[in-house]
Amino acid sequence: MHTTAGVLSQREAFDRKLQHIPTEGIMSLEPGETAVMGADGNPVIISVAGLEMLVVHTGNIEVVDSIVKVFRERGVTSLLDIMMSIQMYLPRNDAAFVEKAARIGLRYVWSQCPIAEFLARQKAPLGKPIFITIRRDN
């Protein structure tokens, strides 16, 4: 499964009527769907098991347990089937997520792309409200 991330202005996000990734909630993304989240420093967690993709936008590390619970409710029986990526985080925020996931038994967990690095790569305008898009490509 592949995802593509990008940046939109507040106006563009509103005009496209994209689903918002809920803060403190878990959202499924289907192939071809795009969702949007605020660039507030809370990371996005993209988790995959089989053909299921879940996205979460939160700073609360306890959501790792909730993600596993949702996958279990959807028939995932082994923690080895779950992959989790923590992206667009503030420095030091990612380590807590990775450590939590390892403590509960997830083996395929990694962090990538701090928020400042992502926004710089996207040439995001400084000082303006922006939104980050996450698109599930397949």
Total domains in the chain come to 1
How deeply is 90 buried, as exposed, middle or buried, from its count of CB atoms within 10 A (0-12, 13-18, 19+)? middle
pLDDT band at 126 (very low <50, low <70, confident <90, very high): low
Q: What is the CATH number of the domain that holds 82?
A: 3.60.140.10
The pLDDT score that the predictor gives to residue 119 is: 77
**Is the confidence at residue 8, as pLDDT, over 80?**
yes
Q: 61 lies in which domain range? A: 3-136
Which residue, 47, 44, 35, is CA-closest to 115? 44
Supply the pTM of this predicted model: 0.85
Q: What does the pLDDT look like over 57-71, one tens digit per residue?
A: 888 888 999 999 999
For residues 115 and 89, is the Cβ–Cβ distance under 8 A? yes
